[in-house]
Every structure is written in structure tokens, then in C-alpha cells.
Amino acid sequence: MSDELWVFGYGSLMWRPGFAFVERAPATLAGRRRAFCIYSVHHRGTYARPGLVLGLAPGGSVRGAAYRIAPADWASVYAYLMEREQPTETYIEARRFVRLADGRRVECLVFLSDAHHPQWAGALSLKRQAQLIAGATGLSGRNVDYLRDLVEHLGQEGIVDRSMQRLLGLVEGIIPPL
């Protein structure tokens, strides 16, 4: 086992990591999929009007990005990630192996969705996800902007996620364009 320190991102960590890293590589995590399965009452919604944020739900696989962190930076990166990813402790911190685009297999820190947390939304229909996302705003802005950023940045990475594209289409059918 390697003593390298890696972090896996599948959502906004892909385009806005916010921490120092020495290497970034496309990566795939098996056994989990990208899903709007967490009610957001902090970053993209409120307790009165929750939105949805991404989680790693069981099943499938997910393409994202892996970041190798210098050992000297690990403590500050880890503290930053705990503040960013765990404001309401909706995720389970775990270590999972991912496959990098160049074939390497590395162990990463990942944040898995906690299906036992009160903010677990589970497998909502696309229509219900669209309704929640269309009307929610939190400390980090409008929920729809998070979804738009996701679809745009996934495309820039060469990742086509048809369910996210369909979801964005449904949301844009609910709210007027900017």
C-alpha cells in the first residue's frame, strides 16, 4: 500500500478544489454513482426550503478527478475538506480505490452519502429533484447554478452524464432563464 495521499472529487471539487495539490488525474470510482441524493440545508438550500446536492449513492460507477496531496499540505487540506464537505455531517468519510486514466490504482479519501442521515434524500424521481433544485438557494448560491456548473464542467472533462443533462432540462423548464 502506498503512502501517497489522494482525494477523489465527483462534483464541484472537480472544477473548484480550493486546496493545494501536486497532481490531478481523471479517475473512476466503482460501486458508487453521482446522484442528487442529499437534501441541502446549508450550501444550496435552507431548512425551510431545502435544495439538493450531490452524493455518492450506491451502485454503478462514477468518473471524477483524483488529487494527490503533498504530505506537508495534508493537515490543512483535510481540515478544509471537513469544513467544506461536512457542515451537517451528511457524508461518511471513507478510503476507496479509484482507477486513474493512466491505469494506476490509488486509494483516495472520499465522502460517501450516509443513507441513515436525516438529509438523505434517496432515489427521488427526476421531476421531484427538478422541483427542489428549481426553488432552492443557500449560502453558496442558487441550487440551479450548482447543477449548471456541474453539467458544464463535466462536459469540459469529456464526461457525458445524461441523467444530469435531463435534470437540467427539467429545471430550466420550471424556472425562467437568466
Neighbouring residues of 78: CB distance < 8 A, sequence distance ≥ 6: 109
What is the separation of C-alpha 168 from the centre of its chain, rounded to a whole number of angstroms?
16
Q: Tell me, yes or no, if 23 is annotated catalytic.
A: no
Q: Which listed residue (4, 23, 83, 85) is catalytic?
A: 85
Nearest to 14 by CA among 121, 149, 165, 162: 149
Q: Residue 121 gets which letter from DSSP?
A: -
Kindly report the backbone phi and psi dihedral angles of residue 97, in degrees, each rounded to the nearest multiple of 5, phi listed first: -85, 140
CB 52 within 8 A of CB 38: yes
Cα angle 125, 114, 84 (rounded to 5 degrees) comes to 100
Nearest to 90 by CA among 131, 139, 123, 54: 54
11 in helix, strand or coil?
A: coil
Active site residues: 85
